[in-house]
A and B are shown apart, each in its own frame.
Chain A
Amino acid sequence: MSGESSQLERNLGFIEAMTLGGGTMIGAGIFILPGLAAEGAGPASAISFLIAGLVALLAALSLSELATGMPIAGGSYHYVNRALGGLFGSIVGWGMWTGLMFASAFYMIGFGQYIVVPLAFLDGRALIVLLGIVGLGLIAGINYYGTDESSGAQNIMIGAEFLVVLVYVALGAFYVDPANLQEFAPTGPTGIVATTGTVFVTYLGFEIIATVAGEIKRPGELIPKTMVLSVVSVSLLYAVIMLVSTGVVPYRELGKSLVPVSDVAAISMFGTVGVGAVTVAAAIAAISSSNSSILAASRVIFAMGRDSLMSERLNVTHDRFRTPHRAILTTAVVTGGLILLGLRVQEIVALLAQVASFSFLVTYALVHVAVVVFRTADPDEYDPEFELSGPLYPTVPILGVVMAGLVVSQMRPPVIAVGIGIVALGAGWYVVYARDRAVEEGLLNDALDKFRDDLPAGVPGSTATASTEDRYTVVVPVANPETQHGLLRLAAASAQAHADERRPELVAINVVEAEASSRRNVESDRVDHQRALLSNVHDITAEIDIGVQTRALVTTDAGEAIVEVATEEAADQVLMGWNGTLARNDHVFGTTLDPVLADAPCDVSVVEIQSETVGRPVALAGPGPHAPKAAKRAVEFATVQGTTPVLLNVQPPAPDGDIDPVQRGHEAIAWVADRADIDRENYDTQVIVEEDTESAILDAVDEFDTICVGLSEKSARSRILFGSIAERISRRATGNVAIIRGAEGETPTEALVRYPND
């Protein structure tokens, strides 16, 4: 009846995504930045906008690839965290959050300026700050109570605002005085680049599209389209606006103005009417941009919480309004504090814009690195619909990092200081709070390994395989939360038993079986699994001191993926769970277990976990190629609770004159123990003499908590046959049952020949 698990609807179409991204970009920036830009670079600030647009376009291209590969909430933060691990994840997460707060404060001060300055009876910095705070309070309140996506009010408002901007450009073009543009670049190239750092703040709108990537319809198509389209169109629009504005009002005057667009409108848009229209449009712009920033900020905080880089208490949603009210309030309070700084700091607007730009430039530089890491590590689930192809890769990431560095290098020292402070905050947060909780290990090591593998032999650093020789690695695929603890414990015991010669290591993997397609939010599944996996692994490592790696994989064939991981890791053993039932038809254990038993290049233990107690294990030291490995596992599992395992052998009563069956049994056990290289003091023996050996075994093993049975293998060519005795044990036993298969190479036929009993 109840079938599939729950779905997440993708509600944002082209218009909604453009409103969020493009709306934020043409929003507040357009009304405030022309003044700052004119002051910084004169009419040539049009070029600053184009440079900033290029930096943004490069970032948008890289982000598009990552976002279509993993359409999930969190944007750049998520991709960097996944690629480079928790430290950089924390830096980018904090950078984005604070960047959005700085940008929001910037918009709201602009909001105050546009209302206060044109009205003759209002005056003063305090009033600007006050209005900014009131506006922010309004936005925070609305967001606290929650809004509906379907309300068209915001679309209509942004449409009206956009119309005002177009009229401004169209009418202004007639009033351009070429003389004003004579002195085109008064501050020279350095001034132009420095101004880029100020105006870049406006381009963080496309990042907002990436932060809501999990909610966008047809993400493979719409994410790249809306991001690139909004960046390109906004860049061109801004360049034209700068030429028009500095053409109408000389850049020196414009630069001193708090309300540059109003000043121009007073000349070109019929005086008061134009000023009124611009004031209304600027207010709408500030509010909608600030609103989008708060939406984006709460997605980033949610994504950080999901990876345990942020307290989940911040992400609790309101019982009635269902909004992440704590995250919203926190964001609003800090933003309010930044607005209040406007009382003291003269150049607050420029400072806010530049710090926000700094944060996002650092973020985008890391995004470019993340693309390279993803391309190199190439995890199974990474299959972006939009790919940087041909000359774009690796040109885009490399050029992106260089350009971001160039813009940052021209920023003013105080801005760089604050920016570095924010980076340090992220790094410090990771060290103090998040390091022990972080979920993602990052793909960086995978990428470096792959990179080394690609180097020709003999080059230093290409000896990646050497270290695997010193490790005893057990791969543990876990899926069922009820049994994974038991599995990990047995695997740890098995690995620890080799601690004398080699360093024990566990690789816990969780395989999400899924068709990678835009119709599923596979990445969101993967993150959930990774999280569950890690919390369990932490429990284990709290008990036992052992090195653990965790990997959550998304693949279409779980069995094959496990074999692949075992091969990659040069594993010594795969230990995996089994529900105790046999598949009929074409498979023996099932579609996942069969390929592992058939193809894994190492020992395989298939364990049915039925009891918390490992207790005293018993191994069937009977005929069969894998009996020695079963005995070996019994010895290893016994260490979990410090017991001595029993090797059991059942003999039929001897016909007259033959050797004593009890003695024959002990010989068989000794042979198995010898083959398994187990010392005599490490096991007890039990020999039963009974006509019906099968039922004798079944009766005997009943009292043990853990039973190890070798897999019976009739011939190397035929498919694995599960021995009848093992099957009957697993049906009847209430304890844990482990079916053991040794690695290939220890040829079963040889073992059979030399077995004294056969």
Chain B
Amino acid sequence: MLLPVDVSGEYTVPTPVLDLLSSTHVVVLGYYPVPSQAAPAQLKHQHEDDARRQLDAIANQLSGRVDGVTDVLVFTHDRNETVDRIASKHTADAILTPGSVSSVDRLLVPLRGTSNVENILRLVESLLASTDAAVTLFHATDDADPEGHGDQLLDSAVDHLVESGIDADRIDRQLSTDEAVTGILAAGDESDVLVIGETEPSLRDRILGRVPSQILEDADGPVFVVRDTNGTESEKDGEIDAQ
């Protein structure tokens, strides 16, 4: 689990989120945003101690509550690039944007298709195991979906969770015909935590923003973006410049 945190300011992880993470190993990525006007070394030079202190505070908050903490401090021009690089370096299964939340009663899990579903459900299992929260499995279809693909997808997901020991009472399913982002956000109003799958950005996504990042911007609560580890991982740009 990768938890990216902006260490240029103060931050504390909400307690309910800590409960969700109790059985996971967390990599805390403290990133310090650097504008293009300055060299990252310049901000490191002036703010390394502060940044380190913020990161240590968060790591201390987590240690003991979760199953192991690793911390990484990076000065970067581009948060997303750093998040991607650190996630693949530490083979994180998901990236958590903690947001703010007072209690976790329900998870919302939109499923796009069969790809990446296993990883998503594995994470959902572990999150449900550590709390009493319920889960809503969600699928948005473009049209009427006469062949019932959406139904089948949700059915097999429910089966999967039940098989792995989650009480069927805790699982809801919802089929929506709204456009994906608005549908997810509408359904999200009733839930506290969002678990979504990472998508390979299409050209259109690259220009207009990916679905997950749009959701990330609009969602208030914690969002887990599950990485697609089956896909090809490009290591080429994963240049590390460790200090």
Contact = CB atoms under 8 A, between A and B. Distances in A.
Interface of A: 1-13, 72-73, 143, 146-150, 212, 214-215, 217-218, 294-295, 298-299, 302, 306, 315-317, 321-324, 328, 518-521, 524-525, 528
B71 interface: yes
Contacts of B239: 10, 217-218, 518-519
Contact of A143 (B37, B71, B80, B85): B37
A322 B52 contact: no
Given A322-B8, A323-B37, A2 B59 contact: yes
A148 B76 CA distance: 11
A252 to B, nearest CB: 43
Cβ-closest 5 pairs across A and B: A146-B35, A9-B76, A6-B73, A11-B77, A73-B39
Given A6-B75, A6-B243, A322 B41 contact: no
A7 B75 contact: yes
A306 B44 CA distance: 12
A316 B241 CA distance: 24
A322 B43 contact: yes
Q: Among A8, A215, A317, A518, which residue has the most Cβ atoms of chain B within 10 A?
A: A8
6 contacts: A1-B63, A6-B51, A11-B81, A294-B37, A317-B43, A520-B240
A524 B243 contact: yes
B52 to A, nearest CB: 7
Nearest to A520: B242
Given A5-B73, A6-B75, A10-B241, A214 B39 contact: yes
A535 B239 CA distance: 33
Contacts of B186: none
Contacts of B77: 9, 11-12, 148-150, 215
Contacts of B56: 2
B48 to A, nearest CB: 6
A299 B74 contact: no
Majority-rule SS of B interface residues: mixed
Interface in B57-91: 59, 63, 69-78, 80-82, 85
Contacts of B85: 9
A758 B124 CA distance: 77
A411 to B, nearest CB: 33
B42 A317 contact: yes
Contacts of B43: 317, 322
Given A295-B37, A317-B43, 5 more contacts: A9-B74, A218-B239, A298-B38, A317-B42, A521-B243
B189 to A, nearest CB: 30
Interface in B18-68: 33-48, 51-52, 55-56, 59, 63
Contacts of A315: 42, 46
A306 B243 contact: no
A7 B240 contact: yes
Interface residues of B, number: 43
B39 A299 contact: yes
A1 B39 contact: no
Contact of A5 (B46, B69, B243): B243
Contacts of A212: 39
Contact of B38 (A3, A322, A519): A322
Given A150-B78, A322-B8, A317 B242 contact: no
Interface string B99-124: 00000000000000000000000000
B233 interface: no
Contacts of B35: 146-148, 321-323
B35 to A, nearest CB: 3
Contacts of B74: 6-9
A328 B52 CA distance: 27
Contacts of A4: 72, 242
Q: Among B38, B40, B47, B76, which residue has the most Cβ atoms of chain A within 10 A?
A: B38
Contacts of B33: 322
B143 interface: no
A471 B52 CA distance: 44
A214 B38 contact: no
Nearest to A303: B39
A6 B46 CA distance: 13
B81 A9 contact: yes
Interface in B213-243: 237, 239-243
Contacts of B46: 315-317
A13 B237 contact: yes
A23 to B, nearest CB: 13
B209 to A, nearest CB: 11
A448 B32 CA distance: 43
Given A7-B240, A323-B37, A73 B71 contact: no
Contacts of A295: 36-37
A6 B243 CA distance: 6
Contact of B243 (A2, A8, A148, A316): A8
B36 A524 contact: no
A217 B75 contact: no
Nearest to A212: B39
Contacts of A519: 239-242
